């Protein structure tokens, strides 16, 4: 049985003649000029340097007339979109004996798979309806809780905010699949004894559905046919830098903070569940691990803990052939009103973002159109990062060094375990981070083994209402020298700025 054919090609937006180009952008001012042309940046956080943009024939003509330095990556994206559509029409839908991760899945198939997971593992998983989207579609979560839902520390995983980022949806589903399929394996069972998971594969179901039937490269929700970027619509810093007030632009912030039902649903669920202590939001692309703040050039109150977690995640995620880089979000490009600034700043969660494959350095041409053979490798990378968050929540991730610490090179042994199928990536003793112009290596202890004894006491607690972050640890005086992992991340940050 083949999958039901989506809408006819005549109903779809055509990108015939549109090109994916790499533009040399020498400054932030030049970046603003480029984006003012209406081109579509193929990065969540465009910044000065080499910026990949999708441009119409008329936009390409303007860039040529204005003398922009442009290198063509894909002369015409429409054949690639056509090839993807033809492949998807031939795929076999999920059913017994068919690998769900053999290809990307449309919204109905994602929801059906959530139901199938809950039915197959009733003692572990349940499906929760968080609310409805603007167009009335269900926003659903899979709750993974061994022995039933209780007050254990809970990790919140969101994906699919930006509709065209299909790999984020499949990666969240892969994480869910691995925790259920391997639940009896020791490492997984110990983790599930200590923590619970709430996974929301598609925060933006209207936009995601539209990428299948209308415009494959659609990003926002479907407000008034132009859409709102939900990842600029959250309350923390809403309306600040990096969030547009122009509805037609890709990073349009909406008419007010939480103006969109999709962000309201997430907000209401998070505030109603005090057991949530940590959050990961999945996006593509760039191979990055980002942490607050994303809108201001300031250290978050828990910067040392956040940066240490980001370094541990990036290291674990870099063991499968892709290299991930940890950075404070604002050092890429300010993005006010994003989800992790809100879940950290207002809700008190230890919050980070994964920008999954491909790289933002030299693999622009793949962008949002990854081949299906990337689904499992990228899912494994996301899973490896989430293991590090579990280690933080259970207290198994070493704390950052104290200020003024006279520790040596910071090196120590590390250990970890993985399932036979490689689902839970092991940790590495060496942390490697890279930028487009340099590579920095530091050693640290990274332990993904979960001993089941953590009580979540080191994790974030709700903010006290003064906007001071999660309160995981008391804010430190930043005037002194910061060594070890914090120094590594700060040095990366300065090079990026």
pLDDT at 181 over 60: yes
- Cβ pair 496, 435 in contact under 8 A: yes
pLDDT band at 363 (very low <50, low <70, confident <90, very high): low
- Judge whether 56 lies within some domain: yes
Dist. CA 289–CA 166, nearest whole Å: 18
The pLDDT, as a whole number, for residue 346 is 96
Q: Residue 355 catalytic?
A: yes
Q: How many helices (H) and strands (E) does the chain have?
A: 12, 14
User: Is 191 in the same domain as 61?
Assistant: no
- Judge whether 11 lies within some domain: no
Q: Which of 393, 424, 459 is the last residue of a domain?
A: 393
- Judge whether 419 lies within some domain: no
The pLDDT, as a whole number, for residue 466 is 38
- Judge whether 61 lies within some domain: yes
Nearest in space to 107 (alpha carbons), one of 228, 246, 214 = 214
Q: Which of 348, 372, 393 is the last residue of a domain?
A: 393
User: What CATH number is given to the structural domain containing 33?
Assistant: 3.30.70.340
- Judge whether 488 lies within some domain: no
Domain count, the chain: 2
Beta strands in 117-166 (DSSP E): 125-132, 138-144, 154-158
Strand partners, 290: 327, 353
User: Is 25 in the same domain as 104?
Assistant: no
| Mean pLDDT score, 344-363 | 90
Residue 87's CB: how many other CB atoms inside 10 A? 13
Token code pair at residue 120: 């197959």
User: Is 21 in the same domain as 151?
Assistant: no
- Cβ pair 339, 327 in contact under 8 A: no
User: Is 294 in the same domain as 166?
Assistant: yes
The pLDDT, as a whole number, for residue 398 is 61
Among residues 44, 262, 355, 380, the one annotated as catalytic is: 355
- Judge whether 469 lies within some domain: no
Q: Which of 75, 109, 125 is the last residue of a domain?
A: 75
Task: Taking each helix axis as running N to C, give the angle between helix 484-496 and helix 303-317, from 0 to 180 degrees, rounded to the nearest 10.
Answer: 80
Domain range holding 187? 94-393
Backbone conformation region of residue 320, classed left if phi is above 0, alpha if psi is from -120 to 50, else beta: alpha
Residue 190's CB: how many other CB atoms inside 10 A? 19
Phi, psi for residue 402 in degrees, rounded to 5: -65, 155
DSSP 8-state assignment for residue 93: P
- Judge whether 497 lies within some domain: no
User: Is 69 in the same domain as 111?
Assistant: no
User: Is 242 in the same domain as 102?
Assistant: yes
User: Is 43 in the same domain as 134?
Assistant: no
Q: Convert the pLDDT of each residue in 276-325 to its tens digit.
A: 999 999 999 989 999 998 888 899 999 999 999 999 999 999 988 899 99
Dist. CA 430–CA 444, nearest whole Å: 6
- Judge whether 456 lies within some domain: no
User: Is 192 in the same domain as 290?
Assistant: yes
User: Is 71 in the same domain as 121?
Assistant: no
User: Is 273 in the same domain as 338?
Assistant: yes
Parallel, antiparallel or unpaired: strands 276-286 and 154-158: parallel
Dist. CA 444–CA 83, nearest whole Å: 44
User: Is 66 in the same domain as 117?
Assistant: no
Dist. CA 158–CA 30, nearest whole Å: 33
SS3 of 37, please? coil
User: What CATH number is given to the structural domain containing 339?
Assistant: 3.40.630.10
138 or 4: which leads in pLDDT: 138
Across 1-10, 137-146, 261-270, 277-286, least confident range:
1-10
User: Is 47 in the same domain as 174?
Assistant: no
The pLDDT, as a whole number, for residue 400 is 53
- Cβ pair 229, 253 in contact under 8 A: yes
């Amino acid at each position: 049985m083949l999958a039901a054919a989506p809408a006819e090609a005549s109903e779809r937006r055509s990108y015939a003649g549109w090109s994916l180009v790499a533009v040399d952008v020498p400054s932030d001012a030049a970046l603003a000029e480029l984006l003012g042309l209406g081109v579509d940046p193929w990065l969540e956080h465009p910044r000065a340097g080499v910026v990949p943009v999708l441009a119409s024939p008329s936009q390409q003509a303007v860039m040529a007339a204005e003398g922009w330095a442009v290198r063509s990556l894909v002369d015409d994206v429409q054949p690639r979109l056509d090839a993807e559509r033809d492949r998807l029409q031939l795929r076999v839908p999920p059913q017994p004996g068919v690998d769900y991760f053999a290809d990307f899945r449309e919204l109905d198939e994602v929801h059906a798979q959530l139901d199938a997971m809950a039915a197959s593992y009733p003692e572990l998983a349940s499906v929760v309806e968080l609310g409805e989207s603007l167009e009335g579609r269900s926003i659903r979560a899979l709750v993974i809780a061994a022995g039933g839902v209780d007050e254990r520390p809970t990790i919140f995983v969101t994906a699919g905010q930006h509709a065209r980022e299909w790999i984020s949806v499949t990666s969240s589903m892969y994480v869910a699949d691995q925790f259920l399929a391997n639940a009896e394996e020791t490492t997984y069972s110990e983790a599930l004894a200590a923590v619970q998971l709430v996974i929301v594969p598609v925060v933006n179901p209207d936009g995601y559905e539209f990428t299948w039937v209308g415009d494959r490269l659609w990003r926002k929700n479907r407000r008034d046919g132009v859409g709102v970027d939900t990842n600029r619509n959250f309350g923390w810093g809403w309306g600040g830098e990096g969030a547009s007030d122009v509805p037609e632009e890709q990073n349009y912030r909406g008419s007010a903070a939480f103006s969109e039902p999709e962000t309201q649903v997430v907000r209401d669920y998070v505030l109603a569940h005090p057991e949530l202590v940590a959050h990961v939001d999945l996006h593509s692309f760039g191979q990055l691990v980002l942490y607050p703040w994303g809108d201001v050039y300031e250290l978050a109150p828990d910067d040392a803990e956040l940066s240490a977690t980001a370094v541990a995640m990036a290291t674990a995620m870099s063991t499968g052939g892709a290299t991930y880089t940890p950075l404070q979000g604002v050092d890429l490009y300010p993005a006010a009103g994003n989800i992790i600034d809100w879940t950290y700043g207002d809700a008190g969660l230890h919050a980070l973002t994964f920008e999954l494959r491909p790289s933002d350095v030299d693999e622009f041409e793949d962008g949002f159109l990854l081949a299906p053979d990337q689904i499992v490798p990228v899912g494994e990378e996301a899973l490896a990062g989430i293991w590090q968050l579990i280690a933080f929540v259970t207290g198994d991730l070493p704390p950052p060094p104290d200020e003024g610490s006279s520790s040596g090179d910071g090196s120590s042994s590390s250990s970890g375990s993985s399932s036979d199928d490689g689902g839970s990536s092991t940790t590495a003793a060496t942390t490697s981070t890279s930028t487009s112009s340099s590579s920095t290596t530091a050693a640290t202890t990274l332990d993904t083994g979960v001993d089941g004894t953590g009580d979540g006491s080191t994790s974030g607690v709700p903010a006290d209402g003064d906007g001071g972050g999660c309160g995981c640890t008391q804010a430190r005086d930043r005037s002194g020298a910061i060594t070890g992992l914090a120094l590594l991340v700060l040095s990366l940050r300065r090079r990026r700025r």
